[in-house]
Amino acid sequence: DEDGFSDVFEFEFLDEPPLPCYNIQVCLSQGPRNWLLLSDVVKRLKMSSRIFRCNFPNLEVVTITEAEFYKQTSLSQLFSCATDLEAFNPESKELLDLVEFTSELKTLLGSELHWLHP
């Protein structure tokens, strides 16, 4: 792996409730990865999407339809609670921007990271 961190557990410590993280496969050539909604991220960082994307060009942003987002997220047992997904429309063709949930983004959001070799 490019940075040697794939086989360690990463524990993220935060002092405010974490933003929801979604495990989603965005293209067929790679498996599911973890993403945050860009709208959640910019709200917490109190900046616009445009400024976020200019300042952090290395953080990957992808676009997905709300319907596809809903379909994949609702399959997860972790989102078994109806209120988790009630804000999303399973039929919507609207596009959602997702930003990849990397260690860099976690740090940017104020988390402290702790790595552990299992």
| Residue among 46, 81, 87, 91 that touches other proteins (CB under 8 A) | 81
| Residue among 48, 63, 94, 114 that touches other proteins (CB under 8 A) | 114
Size of the site for other proteins (CB under 8 A): 31
Q: Work out how close the CB of 39 gets to other proteins at its nearest, in angstroms, rounded to a whole number.
A: 19
| Residue among 50, 80, 86, 87 that touches other proteins (CB under 8 A) | 80
Q: Which residues pair with 24 in a beta bridge?
A: 33
Please answer whether residues 35 and 100 qualify as being in contact, where contact means their C-beta atoms are separated by less than 8 angstroms. Answer: yes
54 near other proteins (CB under 8 A): no
31 near other proteins (CB under 8 A): yes
Q: What is the DSSP string of 39-93?
A: HHHHHHHT--HHHHHHH-TTS-EEEEEHHHHHHHHHTSGGG-SGGGSTTS-TT--
The binding site for other proteins (CB under 8 A) comprises 1, 5-18, 21, 23, 31-34, 76-78, 80-81, 111-112, 114, 116, 118
